[in-house]
Amino acid sequence: MSHLSLANIIKTYPNGFEAVRDVSVDIAKGEFTVFVGPSGCGKSTLLRMVAGLETVTQGTITLADRVINDLEPARRDIAMVFQNYALYPHMTVYKNLAYGLVNRGFPKAEIDRRVREAAEMLQITEYLDRKPQQLSGGQRQRVAMGRAIVREPEAFLFDEPLSNLDAKLRNHMRLEIKRLQRYLGTTAIYVTHDQVEAMTMADRIVVLNKGKVEQAGTPAEIYHDPASLFVAGFMGAPAMNMLEARFEDGHMILPGNIRVHALARPDRDEATLGLRPERITITRTPVNGTALPFQLDLVEELGAGRLLHGRVGETPVTVSTSGDGEVPADDLHAEFPAAAMHFFDKETGARL
Amino acid sequence: MKRGVIIDHAILILGVLFLITPLWMAFASSTYTAQEIARDGMRFVLGDNFIGTWGDLLTGAGSMFTESEGKTGEVTAVSGLLMLKNSLILGLGFAIGKIAISMLAAYAIVYFRFPAGPFFFWIIFSSLLLPLEVRIIPSYEIVAGLGLVNSYTGLILPLIASATATFFFRQFYKQIPEEMIEAARLDNAGPIRFFIDILFPLSKTMIAAIFIIMFVVGWNQYLWPILMTTDKEFNTLLMGIKNIIYIMDDGKTPAYNQAFALAVLSVIPPVLIVVLFQSWFVKGLTESDK
């Protein structure tokens, strides 16, 4: 039973731009769903339609068995965390948290209880009397979270809430948001363009591209079983290696006249071969005729591991290896299991 | 001390002297009797008639115009306090009215989608091309038609629309992030609550800045009150000064001492306002706090 459902949502702007084209997503109660995609993919538009800040051209949005398409934002029982926090600069943190409740006519004691509880949860109790200007970015982010929490809504909406924080804080807040959402058990939609955030935070990821759902699934599904070239290329850092492959009587031919035995092949003669960098092993002594010659150009030392940037024939390929041992030099080969090979249609990008 | 600092200060001191000297001369001269001034000209040193001049001026006791050749001044004096009150009403009414109207106008233009909204904005904006002096006769006609001549309403109301202030508020609202409004919408704040709870407090510095400007503009209105009022009850300070100059043509000795006192008096309130609101003023026009 889905708690928040988007059914056949279409958004067309008056100027004719189709921001969202027939998107359907079902979100279970308490699920943390991440909408991810490049800028302009319609993820924010989708979120804002759920919030009621954009009108829905076509389709139905249902939250807790209630169609909310035409409800005022304030009456949808959702709370949103904005990218720039959107705190009221002239109000203290306490008033910022309380404002939404005051406007809904909650009794004073109840407001106070909720505000203090949320502040406790977010460890901002000592800042309740300060104004937003006197807070650091991370603290403001917490206040913005607090404003959503005190509402005790049916659903949280996050619009790229971490993009204004520095990298270290972002990793920390990422975890914290996830933990809070788990603790509260509130259904959440989280919009981001950062695939790391998507992978680490989501119960389920919805990958959007050009206003359409490319794939929806758990982070593991999305990563290991990408439904299209787009998903494969977008998710994962470093990105999946893509090689244009041709198949001829049991052989795979790659640009630059590389010819090896094909471990697996698609149902057609030409396809794009996708290989995750960490599924490739580099060796000096290839065991069989399926290893590709790998010419190393550059080594990126990451501490915990190494990225080897090089070429297979004419195609640039990145390999992720463990960091120990000596940096390999020349005469290298790239090996991978058949299970690591993903094939995509060259034209449509669809998984084969 | 470095030579540069000395030169800087010398320039500043010169500037201050340049601005202060006329004011001091007016004040010093106001402490003499009219006859002394007529005889000896303006003074730099304080005289002994301070209480006489200022007392007469504020209470309206004694004519604005000194007796000469046994004739009393024909124009009866209006008390300085009344003129001060009138000027204050005009200045405050002008400033507060303009701020209220233009804030609301800008609010409508920026936050509400209504047909031809931008068109209305440009209409308001282009009214900057029509200063009061250009439209003063038709304006008078309308005020007279409404029977508002010789009333505070007639003095203030026709001037209350302000393209400048509307434009400033519009620019200010435009730079308030969209997300703030959206957050307020989610917090169940309707248009009125948003205006009172959020927009108004955020605009405080802007309001202060515009208040100063508009108060001084209203305070310095001259042509308009002359045209709009015939009753002396509505004389403002600036009109009072003019009345004294008028009398010179009649061959009498104008009460120069009171004229100078009046001039000094008319400078004080705007100066006070600027001094009091000065820090806000700078903030309002320069700072963009989000």
Question: Which DSSP symbol is given to A348?
Answer: T
Q: How many CB atoms lie within 10 A of CB B124?
A: 19
Average pLDDT of chain A? 90
DSSP β-bridge partners for residue A253: A246, A259
Q: Is the pLDDT at A272 greater than 50, yes or no?
A: yes
A352 inside domain: no
Interchain CB contact of A198 with B (< 8 Å): no
Q: Are residues A196 and A326 in the same domain?
A: no
Domain boundary among A234, A250, A265: A234
User: pLDDT digits over B223-266, tens only?
Assistant: 888 888 888 788 888 887 777 666 555 556 677 788 888 888 88
Q: Are residues A205 and A322 in the same domain?
A: no
CATH at residue A40 = 3.40.50.300
Domain boundary among A185, A219, A234: A234
Interchain CB contact of B113 with A (< 8 Å): no
Of the two residues A287 and A345, the one the predictor is more confident about is A345
Domain boundary among A188, A213, A234: A234
Q: Which residue of A has its CA nearest to B204?
A: A90
The yes or no reply on domain B3-286 and CATH 1.10.3720.10 is: yes
Interchain CB contact of B287 with A (< 8 Å): no
Mutation target among B188, B194, B287 for the A interface, most CBs of A within 10 A: B188
Q: Is the pLDDT at B64 greater than 60, yes or no?
A: no
Interchain CB contact of A88 with B (< 8 Å): yes
Q: Are residues A325 and A186 in the same domain?
A: no
A349 inside domain: no
User: pLDDT digits over B10-32, tens only?
Assistant: 999 999 999 999 999 989 988 88
- First vs last C-alpha separation in chain B: 41
Q: Are residues A227 and A287 in the same domain?
A: no
Interchain CB contact of B176 with A (< 8 Å): no
Chain B nearest CA to A80, separation (Å): 8
A85 inside domain: yes
- Of A131, A48, A124, A42, give the one whose Cα is nearest residue B186: A48
Nearest to A51 among B177, B186, B289 (CB): B186
Q: Are residues A230 and A246 in the same domain?
A: no
Q: Are residues A100 and A145 in the same domain?
A: yes
SS3 at position A90: coil
What gap in Å lies between CA A151 and CA A97, rounded to an integer? Answer: 9
Nearest to A89 among B184, B189, B289 (CB): B289
Q: Is the pLDDT at B67 greater than 60, yes or no?
A: no
Chain centroid to CA B137? 22
Domain boundaries, chain B: 3-286
Contact status, residue B167 vs residue A70, Cβ threshold 8 Å: no
Chain B nearest CA to A125, separation (Å): 21
Chain B nearest CA to A96, separation (Å): 10
- Check CB contact under 8 Å for A133 and B201: no
Q: Are residues A46 and A153 in the same domain?
A: yes
Report how many domains make up chain A: 2
Chain B nearest CA to A61, separation (Å): 17
Nearest to B187 among A51, A74, A83 (CB): A74
A351 inside domain: no
Interchain CB contact of A137 with B (< 8 Å): no
Band the pLDDT of A110: cuts 50, 70, 90.
very high
A350 inside domain: no
Domain that holds residue A17: 2-234
Burial of B7 (0-12, 13-18, 19+ CB in 10 A): exposed
**Amino acid symbol at A240:** M
Interchain CB contact of A11 with B (< 8 Å): no
Interchain CB contact of A55 with B (< 8 Å): no
Question: Which pLDDT score is estimated for B73?
Answer: 44
SS3 at position A189: strand
Radius of gyration of chain A (CA): 24
- The predicted model gives A21-45 an average pLDDT of 92
Tokens of B101: 């109207």
Name every residue whose Cβ is closer than 8 Å to that of residue A144 and which is 6 or more positions away in sequence.
A81, A82, A85, A86, A87, A161
Tokens of A343: 């094939």
Q: Are residues A179 and A52 in the same domain?
A: yes
- Check CB contact under 8 Å for A100 and B180: no
Tokens of B185: 């919408």
Half-sphere exposure of B54 (CA within 13 A, CB side): 15
Q: Are residues A122 and A269 in the same domain?
A: no
Q: Are residues A35 and A138 in the same domain?
A: yes
- Here the ipTM equals 0.83
Q: Are residues A194 and A255 in the same domain?
A: no
Of the two residues B75 and A227, the one the predictor is more confident about is A227
Interchain CB contact of A68 with B (< 8 Å): no
B289 contacts in chain A (CB < 8 Å): 89, 133
**Could you tell me how many residues make up chain A?**
352
What gap in Å lies between CA A166 and CA A328, rounded to an integer? Answer: 34
Interchain CB contact of A86 with B (< 8 Å): yes
Q: Are residues A293 and A160 in the same domain?
A: no
Question: Which DSSP symbol is given to B159?
Answer: G
A206 inside domain: yes
